[in-house]
Amino acid sequence: MSDDHLLAERLLAERAERRRIAEQLHDGPVQHVAALCQMLDAAVQALEDDDGAAGVRLTARGLAVARDTAEELRGIVAGLEPVTLHEIGLAAAVRELAERTAGRRGAALDISVDDDDLGEGASSSLFQIVREALDQAVRRGPPTTVKLSLGRTRAGGVQLEVSDDGAPERRQAVIDGLAERASELNGTFDAIRDGRWTTIRIVLPPSAARL
């Protein structure tokens, strides 16, 4: 694999990441801030109409939305540049992420990550994939167990599997985004429903592992 080809693959991955961040901000905090503005407008109107009870009620709802939005933004920032990913490695970053997102919801965690010799770009991309898969599992119904494994294939590539026993529904846009991310890294993607388990499996070639 030539250096030019590796650079092209990395640029594609970075472009996909920027698009994902824009979509995540638009679908989450931006929508919440818009709703907050509407609530505050309504609260001001209620106070001007001397309806103090409605004003207090609307302000309290707005405060709850603001707190949720702040928490969501903190999660996005942590996902963008996790300190553990650069200082300790992918395995520690993934474990911290799983404990923060699923473990705190009561899910048992079974994590096995081998990140030896992975490139910085591959580590970052795989971390984001794990983050999105876990986010979907928690949003659609907190699982009782999450299994996560990452290791080398016989060909020298990387295989990632994230399984959970939460609600089977998944947002199709997120599934499509994970499939596109794998495709841009010349990898393969599978979303499998087997009994009570939902599994996201991504296999990257050796060239992507070196990015």
- pLDDT tens by residue, 165-174: 877 776 677 7
Q: At 151, which amino acid appears? A: G
- pLDDT tens by residue, 12-24: 666 666 776 777 7
Residue 178 near residue 148 (C-beta atoms within 8 A): no
pLDDT at 13: 60
Residue 159 has pLDDT above 70, yes or no: yes
Q: At 15, which amino acid appears? A: R
pLDDT at 90: 82
Higher pLDDT, 87 or 63: 63
Q: Give the CB-side neighbour count of residue 13, counting CA atoms within 13 A.
A: 27
Residue 62 has pLDDT above 70, yes or no: yes
DSSP string, the chain: --HHHHHHHHHHHHHHHHHHHHHHHIIIIIHHHHHHHHHHHHHHHHHHTT-HHHHHHHHHHHHHHHHHHHHHHHHHHHHHS-HHHHHT-HHHHHHHHHHHHTGGGT-EEEEEE--TT--HHHHHHHHHHHHHHHHHHHHTS--SEEEEEEEE-TTS-EEEEEEE-S-S---HHHHHHHHHHHHHTT-EEEEEEETTEEEEEEEE-HHHHT-
The CB-based long-range contact list for 58-63 (8 Å cut-off, 24+ gap) reads: 62/36
- Average pLDDT over the chain, rounded to whole? 80
Residue 10 has pLDDT above 60, yes or no: no
Q: Give the CB-side neighbour count of residue 92, counting CA atoms within 13 A.
A: 8
User: Can you tell me which residue has the tokens 């999450």?
Assistant: 146
Which residues, in sequence order, are CB contacts of 17 under 8 Å at separation 6+?
124, 125, 128
pLDDT at 171: 64
